[in-house]
Structure 1
Amino acid sequence: MHTVPDGVEVVATWDEARHLESPPLLVVDAVTAFLDAQGVGRGPLAWQRIGDGHSNVTYLIERGGDCVVLRRGPRPPLPKSTHDMVREARIQKLLHAHGVPVPEIIAVCEDEAVLGVPFYLMSRLDGTVITDAIPSLLSSVEQRRATSEAVVDALVALHSIDVTRGELASLGSPDAYLRRQVERFRGLWEVNTTRNLPAVEWIADWLDRNLPASQAASVVHGDYRMGNLMFAPQTPARILAILDWEMATLGDPLADLGYFTATYSEAGILTTPLELTPVTRAPGYLTRQQLAERYRSRMGLDLTPLPWYQALALWKAAIFCEAIYTRWRRGERPNDTVFGPSLETGVPRLLEMAAQHAGLASTPRI
């Protein structure tokens, strides 16, 4: 934990921040005052950044024996309707009331004068996020299978919630969700790229022509993958919390299943920039087909059009990864020495795999 934070990312006071070229992510005295107002801890605070997210930013805050997690958006300016921390906190509150495993929301700050952007505080949970190492307690073949099953079952539980009534119904309209997704991301490409990749438009045309009819409406997480799940630190494998609700809305549940299975690491399948939990390539974890079959057997949906949803997922991923790549090329991600530069070839690879799911045998120059 850092006890004397400084530099561009964290400063002690807003007065120090005035001398920086870009605004800091954490201002210690401002956060301390907010914690005072919420009755969280006493005395000086210590902070530690959690994860290496490429969008929103999360910090573990310790103060006088109390631990909370602070989540905020990236530095301004923020694109319209993105990084909405107030909405993200509200969604988790609503889902918590429906039994969805999410962290407890402690406080929400809408006053941008505090940190420059809205943020919220949530409870700290004692669990494990599985990425490039298998937790020892979940390392047996049996527990690897149980881990995969728990991931599917949590998704089924989320998609089984009735979204036609109550406050959840106000989160958005599921009608024409898929068409809106294609139109929205198609429009984002031109504003987020500096290069010509014809496959983007070519795949968009295919998606538009082959739009499936949605079979159900549900809460759609939007980034459902192993890296956004926290597991309890004991056996059997159990999901303690589903994290990162930034893109959640109401829509077609198969969009989540398509994204989850298309980005899930499996032995023998080529890697992509979204392979963030490579351990599932190891023996014992379910395959993509087995994951889909478990979901189908519990939800009763026809998975014949699943390849369309998988193509959509990777095509969308290529577009938002291109935005990261463009920011890196412009020097807006000075500390990114790995992910940003990898997207020069990573984005075309995502498009190639999207085309494969679409069953498109030949592609224009990626």
Structure 2
Amino acid sequence: MSEGSDPSEDHWEVFDEALATAREQLEAARTSYRQLGELHATPAESYASALADLEQLIDETDGVLDVTPEDAADATATADRVTLVSRTLDAMLAHQTDLLESELEIYATWLHSLKETPVATMDLSDELDALQAFVENENYGPLRTGDHFTLSQFRADLQVVDSFAREELSVSEYVEYCLTCIDSHQSAFTEDLRTLVQEDVSYSIKSDRKPINDLTQTVRDRRKEDGLGTIDCESARIALEGTMMLRYQTALALAAHNHRSRLSSILDSVDDASHSKEDLTDTVSIDDLEQSVTGAVVEHSSVSVEERVFDLLREHDGSLLRALSASDLDPDEFFATVQTGLEDGPINDLEAHFE
């Protein structure tokens, strides 16, 4: 505080900044919630209730006419609550977008290999450009639910072109295309595996990888011996499909690890979190982890009826009638809450009256 300044001005500044932050974070949380719905990953219903409660709390806090240090502290606490929900929804959205981007990268690699063949891929290139533009603009909904270009449609179109390539290319050309694509995917998932090792994540694909590697090696050996036949096209295609599956599995594992890190950070910020971070082990499903974090975050962010009644009474100088008028509770619940507060102590420092 500067010399000679009015202390109340500092309270107002803290109060206004906190409310601005709260409203900004509320809007961000709602945007994340909406985007998750567009990706068919709508969060638990409790988040919608928490957002509604927090909006009402912001509105009630914003109704203060004469800001006190306690009001400034309440506004800051409200901003912290909203920010916590916003961070959690943003973490959930980041996980979903990580998965979408990984899937798109797999298909982009597939298309790149197809473009090295004489088969026409111009339409697919335009489709990929459109999908990548969605990602660059952080407009992820159309990747799942768009009217024109979606990931599922892109994969189907790639399969059509792959089938056409198998008919039009010679056996050696088709096998070469498959092996080139396999090499690209293997380089990508090897990099993901290296990252997981560096992060001390226990993860292995050896059992799934061995039969695919064996099949791929058989095709390579037959190519060296100039003994390729039609059956090798089928073997190469199966090996390619399996390699793409392995790449997606490692991408899922890396995305899950990153998501666990985000969730762990969120739990760290909940001072009274009763949920142990031991729940964040790599053996626990993402759904279970999100449920655990949701329980902690929503509990921390929810506004109890007692808190709301106490804040209203304090704001209205203990006037029961004016507090009731400003509340959305029915009279029976309101007065029952007041009675409980008087008996248990939380509002004993207020002089409640009916004026």
Do both share a fold (TM > 0.5)? no
Under a length normalisation based on structure 1, what TM-score does the superposition of the two structures give? 0.28
- Rg larger in structure: 2
More strand per residue: 1 or 2?
A: 1
TM-score (norm 2): 0.28
Q: Which has the higher helix share?
A: 2
